[in-house]
Amino acid sequence: MESRMETGGLVIKIGGSVLDAAGAAWFGALKALADERPIVVVHGGGPAIDARLKSLGLAIEKRGGLRVTDAATLAVVEGVLAGELNGAVVRTLLRAGVPAWGVSGAAARLIAVEPKDGGALGRVGTIRAVDPAPLRAIQKAGCVPVVAPLGLGPDGEAYNVNADEAAAALAAALGYGVVFVSDVPGVLVETPAGRTVLPALPAAEAEAHIAGGAITGGMIPKVRAAVRAVEGGAPAAWIVGADPAALLAVGRCGSPVAPVPSDVQGAPIGTRIVADGADGSGLGDRSAGPGLRADKTAESAVAAAAPAADRPSPTAFGGDQAEPRAADTPGAGSGAAAGDTGWGRFSGTEGGMSDARVVRPL
């Protein structure tokens, strides 16, 4: 029996705009990675939400890439994300051989939020804490969690949460790497040769690119979420396109000190968000196996990794789980005060959250 590789975990966020475009090869690549390391999937659903709002004659308004969400809009958002799309993603993964289990971020206080910007965007939440216990329970059952980006507010009601922010918060809380899958192959910038993918983006330079207009629209919250993830404890963050070869290359890039190929078969694999003082070249704290060879297609890689009948499903974190930060680690802390300085773990229980990490607003 082939044993699962001892590697760190990975949060994979797939945007709503690429859900339909991601074909069997892409989900096969995700299956291959799920056989090797713990995986959490976070999905968006913007286009489906827009279509439903239009069909109901409801207004669509976005500010800085975030959806303004009144009560009527929230009802649509929750129905589409936690109902239709979450179920659709789970069924697609099951057909690909991935034992998936859908969950809303508002369930079991997985994601706790407060109104963003004092409620200026309506029922949109800023993530304040993540309790990874529900995800651990799902993984202990041998399944891959599929998370709908919703949060539970202080009033006990559901709030809309940007899916990129949700993925970043979950990755930092779990100590996992995070990959944001987009409808573009990475962060695109203007060069003398035309628009090209920026291979690496230092976290300290992200806001300058946004202020200068190089990063716009929906890429803004994605880049900010990636920065927040690596600053909060995620080993690495990537923004990639929906190419299955890119997903495999990033997911198998190896240890944080291992070199990563800049392209696969001549195509860029995406943009790596680099934390200050780190090269951000890897996703896990242990080797995840060789990078995807340039002469190996996504289809052949997926076929080679096809599940055998006796291959174990992804299991609980166990030895794969990153150890919690010590109390004297910069950015760590206990209690609500940690939310003002960085990602931290509650000491004991707080508000019914048994193993939560407090976060500061994005």
Give exposure, 281-320, as e/b (b: 16+ Cβ within 10 Å). Answer: bbbbbebbeebbeeebebeebbeebebeeeeebbeebeeb
Q: Which of 9, 35, 116, 164 is catalytic?
A: 164
Structure tokens at 87: 């179920």
Which among 238, 317, 257, 307 has a CA at the least distance from the CA of 40?
Answer: 317
Q: For residue 164, indicate whether it is catalytic.
A: yes
User: CB-side exposure of 58: number of CA atoms within 13 Å?
Assistant: 18
Q: For residue 320, indicate whether it is catalytic.
A: no
Q: For residue 105, indicate whether it is catalytic.
A: no
Q: For the chain, how far is it from start to end, CA to CA, in angstroms?
A: 44
Residues paired with residue 361 on neighbouring β-strands, in sequence order: none
Q: Which of 9, 15, 28, 46 is catalytic?
A: 46
46 is in an annotated binding site: yes
Which among 22, 40, 47 has a CA at the least distance from the CA of 218?
Answer: 47
Q: Which of 13, 116, 254, 344 is catalytic?
A: 13
Please give the biggest Cα pair distance in the chain.
55
Q: For residue 16, indicate whether it is catalytic.
A: yes
Q: Which of 15, 222, 270, 320 is catalytic?
A: 222
Q: Which residue matches tokens 């029996």? A: 1
Distance CA 187, CA 205 (A): 13
Going 280 to 284 to 285 to 290, the CA torsion angle's sign is negative
Structure tokens at 275: 């934390």
360 is in an annotated binding site: no
DSSP 4: P
Distance CA 239, CA 252 (A): 15
45 is in an annotated binding site: yes
Residues tagged in the binding site annotation: 45-46, 67, 160
Write out the catalytic residue numbers: 13, 16, 46, 164, 222
Residues tagged in the binding site annotation for substrate: 45-46, 67, 160
